[in-house]
Amino acid sequence: MITGAASGIGRECAIRLATRGIPVVLADVDEAGMARTAQLVEARGGSSLIVATDVTHDEDCTALVEAALRRFGGLAGGVLSAGTARHAAFLDLERTDWESMLAVHLTGAFLCVQAMARAMVASGSRGSLVYVASSVAAGLGPPRQAHYVAAKAGALGLVRAAARELGPLGIRVNAVSPGFTRTPMNDGLFTEEELRARAQNAPLGRVAEPADVARSIEFLLGPESDFITGQTLHVNGGSYMP
């Protein structure tokens, strides 16, 4: 199950999983974008289910999981990639902007993790959940993103807390924390000059592509990582080395 599946990292995850023959449930508010993702999945011989989902709504998250169970009979993993990004100077940041950012990135993650984990527990299955965080949570982002930074940092705390409680139930919870990644969400937020500067500041000399992040997510979903939980995997070309 992939939230934020209409574009960017979520879409790339769907495509990679499809090439391995893994059915995917695509969740997003952008139905046209999901339709395009579904076409790309089908072109690689995969199968998918589209479910229009607003992760900030409890009922949408519950309906998403129920639809997946009806179609595929079970749930083995989840990618929490739904997101939005807007810039605002700290002193100009409106409370509505603050709350909407936390609603998507933090509350939405909680609602989806809870709904997915409940389904796994009910079926007695093991599973892996991966949250798409951001290097901004470590203070590496540009200014004018206080609400985004706070939401991503809070979500990393949620990942650790969920991993501790769900581990005994056979469910792993981890995060990937990308550096700047070329995605539609970031289009228009940064100039080409800013992108070049970010690439130059990374030891590997470039910014991330969605495929870079999706490969790491695929690893955390799979059996090769079955003794890893509560961790954050940094995918940033060396721009942050904790």
Question: Helix or strand or coil: residue 26?
Answer: strand
For the chain, give the mean pLDDT: 93
135-191 residue pLDDT tens? 989 877 778 899 999 999 999 999 999 999 999 999 999 999 998 887 776 666 666
Residue range 2-235 forms a domain whose CATH class is: alpha beta
Task: List residues bridging with 52 in a β-sheet.
Answer: 28
In the residue annotation, 148 being an active-site residue is answered as yes
Confidence at residue 208, expressed as pLDDT on a 0 to 100 scale: 87
Q: Which residue type, as a one-letter code, is found at position 98?
A: W
- Residue the block writes with tokens 């892996």: 128
Going from the C-alpha of 161 to that of each of 157, 172, 173, 174, the distances in angstroms are: 6, 11, 9, 10
- Given the residues 128, 148, 176, 229, select the one marked as catalytic: 148
